[in-house]
């Protein structure tokens, strides 16, 4: 199969603008959803926002229809409504919509499983900048193909593009690729810190374990123990647990990562810090 040429695109450059009034309804619905109450009102607010083409509301309401909330009135599982919302996102050319449709086709959610359709939509999503699609394709090229057909160069490009965006889950995937597949521990830690700056408890946990004097070799990855650093990241982790909206935009600037004892600042360029 001939794969499309790699193009690094960012989601923010392709997402349609959001109507300000619809955004207020969306934020109110999110607040109610987090409190796990008044589900009919949550649906009503999302639908109001959707009427003004608020694609984030479409995604959130589709998620509720995908799983439903048993025992809570107002949100029943409805796969067709989920697909209708995904289709509307695609009509608006929302990168996340293409990714959602690809996953639905791949898993046969509400439709016959169709690997060809799933692949087509996944590549379109990645070309529009979906970081979720980019890490999915990175994993495909790095791990899913037969060994003789795996393409680490292509995989790295997708992971690096996804890692440059602002989605912590995608950045964690990039970190894991460099940690496991490339054995480039400084670059992996760079991405874990990027995720941590965006409030990722997984990223903060990785940093805490790497510098924790009580961690084993599997967690430290060759870094020297540093209790003050491990305590620092542990404190941030507790803060994020208390306030999931917390972010640390100056984390890398104020707390630059130390060099790895063997790999320096980057296994490929030990004397130079990796930059996006």
Q: What is the pLDDT of residue 40?
A: 87
Whether 155 has a pLDDT exceeding 90, the answer reads yes
Is the distance from CB of 134 to CB of 162 less than 8 angstroms? yes
Mean of the pLDDT values across residues 189-196?
98
The confidence band for 3, taking pLDDT boundaries of 50, 70 and 90, is: confident
Q: How many Å apart are CA 157 and CA 138, to the nearest integer?
A: 8
Whether 9 has a pLDDT exceeding 80, the answer reads yes
pLDDT tens-digit map of 199-242: 999 999 999 999 999 999 989 999 999 999 999 999 999 999 99
pLDDT tens-digit map of 104-127: 998 877 665 778 899 999 999 999
Whether 274 has a pLDDT exceeding 90, the answer reads yes
pTM, full prediction: 0.91
Selected residue with higher pLDDT from 145 and 2: 145
The confidence band for 147, taking pLDDT boundaries of 50, 70 and 90, is: confident
């Amino acid at each position: 199969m001939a794969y499309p040429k790699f193009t690094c695109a960012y989601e923010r450059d392709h997402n349609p603008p959001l109507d300000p009034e619809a955004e207020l309804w969306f934020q109110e619905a999110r607040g109610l959803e987090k409190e796990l109450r008044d589900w009919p009102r949550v649906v009503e607010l999302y639908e109001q926002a959707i009427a003004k083409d608020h694609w984030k509301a479409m995604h959130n309401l589709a998620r509720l229809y995908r799983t439903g909330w048993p025992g809570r009135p107002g949100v029943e599982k409805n796969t067709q409504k989920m697909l209708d919302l995904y289709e509307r996102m695609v009509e608006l050319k929302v990168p996340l919509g293409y990714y959602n449709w690809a996953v639905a086709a791949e898993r046969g959610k509400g439709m016959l499983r169709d690997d060809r359709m799933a692949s087509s939509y996944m590549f379109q999503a990645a070309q529009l900048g979906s970081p979720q699609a980019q890490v999915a394709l990175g994993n495909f090229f790095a791990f899913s193909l037969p060994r003789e057909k795996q393409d680490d160069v292509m995989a790295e490009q997708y992971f690096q593009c996804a890692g440059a965006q602002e989605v912590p889950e995608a950045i964690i995937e990039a970190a894991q690729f460099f940690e496991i597949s490339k054995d480039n521990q400084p670059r992996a830690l760079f991405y874990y810190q990027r995720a941590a700056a965006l409030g990722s408890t997984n990223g903060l946990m990785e940093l805490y374990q790497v510098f924790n004097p009580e961690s084993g070799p599997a967690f430290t990855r060759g870094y020297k123990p540093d209790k003050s650093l491990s305590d620092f990241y542990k404190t941030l982790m507790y803060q994020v647990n208390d306030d999931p909206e917390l972010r640390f935009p100056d984390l890398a600037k104020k707390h630059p990562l130390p060099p790895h004892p063997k790999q320096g600042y980057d296994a490929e360029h030990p004397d130079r810090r990796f930059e996006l």
